[in-house]
Amino acid sequence: MTETAISCRDVSKIFGPDPAGHLARLKADPNTSSVGYVQAVRDVNLDIRRGEMLVVMGLSGSGKSTLVRCLSRLIEITGGSVSIEGQDIASLSETELIDLRRRKMGMVFQSFGLLPHRTVLDNVAFPLEMRGQDRRARYARAREVLDLVGLEGREAYFPRELSGGQQQRVGIARSLAIEPDIWFLDEPFSALDPLIRREMQDEFLRLKGLLNKTIIFITHDFDEALRLADRIAIMKDGRIEQCDTPDQIVLHPATDYVAKFTAEIDRARVVRAGALVHSLIPAPEGEAFASNRTIRDLARCLVAERREVIPVADADGKVIGGMNRQEALDVLLGDEK
């Protein structure tokens, strides 16, 4: 069973003169007027698995950034609870919370937040300096993560001498330097131009393959979410409308809002063969399709295929069931309805 890294129960965040009192009034009467209050997060229940990348999406004002700040206790929640590895973080003292962040959490935000008077090496080593780590050890670690993000040879540069993409890599390297178990990223690529953004996504996918981190990544870009996410949580008005794999969100939207949110997405580019598998006994015969290939990738094979049911195999080559060819073609071409 996969271990839970972060667990939220009925998490709410209200801004206003008496948030706790207003939340109590809302629970007693949901029709209570909210004039003068902003309900940024509403009754969120969420479990994030260890090693998972959860992408949180939504339009501006949907509550996604506020939710992530609640998860890291950068802001105090109004109601509910947030637990990290089974520990309720609201119970931690300020000293214990700082220690938790230094040991367990890395954070990267839209603004790079680099120290302009320090070199790249010193910027990356800075959180280790705050930990009290000796100079030789922190510089060795800083060089190690700079190599990891492709910035070897830039150690002596100052932030002003770097491109936007390179500055963002320094921010990522700095957050990695402390070897966090949990990584919070709030639209880290949104300020970059499209080409650099794509390169940073590629770099991030490479890092994801190397590092077993629990990652909460905020974006408003659905294409970015589809490239990066294990699961996507779509927010609206402070609530999570749906949290599921990209395949399931486009195939089976839970609400009208999610359906509208994903209406323009090319489903064949998102849905993988494994999402259309039906368990069949005995398994169908013949060459199997790989479960991780998208329907778009398999388009030519599907058009040429004559079998009504096509076997699908996992990463080890074991057949896990069959995919109905017509169902796959409906995803590829759109059904007649």
Which pLDDT does position 1 carry in this prediction?
Answer: 43
Query: Cα-atom radius of gyration of the chain, to the nearest Å?
Result: 23
Highest mean pLDDT among 12-16, 98-102, 300-304, 330-334: 12-16
Domain match, 222 and 310 both: no
Confidence of residue 212 (pLDDT cuts 50, 70, 90): confident
Using one digit for the tens of pLDDT, what is the confidence trace for 150-209? Answer: 889 999 999 999 988 888 889 888 888 888 889 898 888 776 777 777 877 887 787 777
Co-location of 289 and 217 in the same domain: no
Where does the pLDDT of residue 336 fall: very low under 50, low under 70, confident under 90, or very high at 90 and above? low
Domain boundary among 210, 229, 248: 229
Whether 310 and 197 share a structural domain: no
- Domain range for residue 301? 268-333
| CATH for 308 | 3.10.580.10
Same domain, 110 and 222: yes
Domain total in the chain: 2
Confidence check: pLDDT of 291 > 90? yes
What's the CA gap between 53 and 245, in Å, rounded? 11
Using 50, 70 and 90 to split pLDDT, how confident is the model at 281?
A: low
**Could you tell me the two tokens for 115?**
């120290």
* Residue range 228-249, pLDDT digits in tens: 999 999 999 999 999 999 999 9
Q: Are residues 278 and 202 in the same domain?
A: no
Is 214 a domain residue? yes
CA 274 to chain CA mean position, Å: 21
pLDDT in tens, 24-66: 999 999 999 989 999 999 999 999 999 899 999 998 899 999 9
Mean local confidence (pLDDT), 69-90: 94
pLDDT one-digit tens code per residue, 4-19: 999 999 999 999 999 9
pLDDT, average across residues 270-292:
86
Q: For the segment 120-133, what is each residue's pLDDT rounded down to a tens digit? A: 999 999 989 988 89
Same domain, 98 and 224: yes
Residue 158 forms part of a structural domain = yes
The half-sphere exposure of 54 on its side-chain side, counting CA atoms within 13 A, is: 27
100 and 205 part of one domain? yes
Residue 79 located in a structural domain: no
Residue 202 confidence (pLDDT):
82
DSSP structural state of residue 49: E
- State the Cα–Cα distance between residues 320 and 327, nearest whole angstrom: 17
Q: Is 1 within a domain? A: no
Contacts by residues 74-79 (CB-CB < 8 Å, ≥ 24 positions apart): 75/13, 77/11, 77/12, 77/13, 77/41, 78/12, 78/13, 78/14, 78/19, 78/20, 78/23, 79/10, 79/11, 79/12, 79/20, 79/23
What's the pTM value of the predicted model, to 2 decimals? 0.86
Tokens of 107: 């954070």
Answer yes or no: do 97 and 215 share one domain: yes
Q: Which of 21, 77, 19 is nearest to 46 (CA)?
A: 77
The CATH number of the domain holding residue 204 is 3.40.50.300
- Residue 5 falls inside a structural domain: no
Average pLDDT over residues 283-295: 88
Q: Are residues 186 and 297 in the same domain?
A: no
Write out the two tokens for 175: 């957050």
| Chosen domain end from 229, 254, 285 | 229
